[in-house]
Every structure is written in C-alpha cells, then in structure tokens.
Structure 1
C-alpha cells in the first residue's frame, strides 16, 4: 500500500461541507465540555481547600476544649482514686439512707 493510496481514501474524498460543519460542531462541543470540566475541577479544588481549612479549625478547637476537659477530668479522677475525695466540682447525688434491716 503506497502513501498516495492512503491520502486518497474514499472517505477523505467523499467529505462534504456538511461533514466539515459536523466535525467543527463536534470539536466545539468537546471544547465546551473540556471548559466545563475545568471549571468543575476548579470549583472542586476550592471546596476541598475550604473544607481542609474548616477541618483544621475544628481540630484546633477540639484540642483546646474536649482534650483539655478530658485531661482535667482524668486528673480529678486519679486524685479521687487515691483519697476518695472528688475535687472536680459538679453536682453529686445525696447518699441515701440505707433501709432498716
């Protein structure tokens, strides 16, 4: 098969202006889809970055509140185990009198 026979294939020779118009429309559609995909990716990247910042802030807030409270509570608990006196404050139920035998 010679290179000349490839360029003169029937499909290439049989192309009409409507085929060219269709091809240009397809190309424009694909370019539009590529643009949309790029915009969606940019939006997604912004959302991921925002979520990452929010998670970092939430993590810092948890560290400052929940973890600190847990450490303090465990310290009071350990002291209570040693001497039986609760120093952590809060409300405690009053001991009930034991029923007579």
Structure 2
C-alpha cells in the first residue's frame, strides 16, 4: 500500500477535501477500528490508543489506512474486559465529562 495522499492531517484544512471524501474517510476509519476492536470474534482484539489524523494515511483513491501501532495493546481472544480507559479524562476534561459539569 502506497499512501500517495499522505496523512489526513495534511488535508483537513484543504478545501478540496470535500464532505463526501471526509465521510468516506470517517467510514473507512470506523470499519478499521471495528475490525481491530473485535469485529471478527475469532481474532485477538487490538486497541490502538493513538488514533489521530496524522496516523490515518490516505491512498491515491482516498482510502483511509490506520497506521502507527506503537502504543497499541493486544487483548487475547476470550479475555474478559470490564472497561478499557487510559487517561481518557485528560482528553475530555474540557467538556466536563469527567467532573459532571457538562451542559449539553
């Protein structure tokens, strides 16, 4: 796979990245994460832990590919998990989701 359109972060402010392309990219990433997170019940689960626009590469036909698995963890098949959170409040504190101060 050659990512001739480089990473998503290089295109986000580009007007040529239409909303149709953005939706297609979002769907590609969601399908990829579903697969990694156990969309196939006969494989281990992979939790990426570093999804961001610079870790999404784009091919010549604008297919999104998830990259940079350096922080990922593998959870063996049939492992019981209550919940996986790693410093989530560091990222959502501005929205009051961890403190209960949200006003939606």
TM-score range (shorter-chain normalised) is under 0.3
The structure with more radius of gyration: 1
Query: Which of the pair is proportionally richer in helix?
Result: 1
What TM-score results when the alignment is normalised by the length of structure 1? 0.25
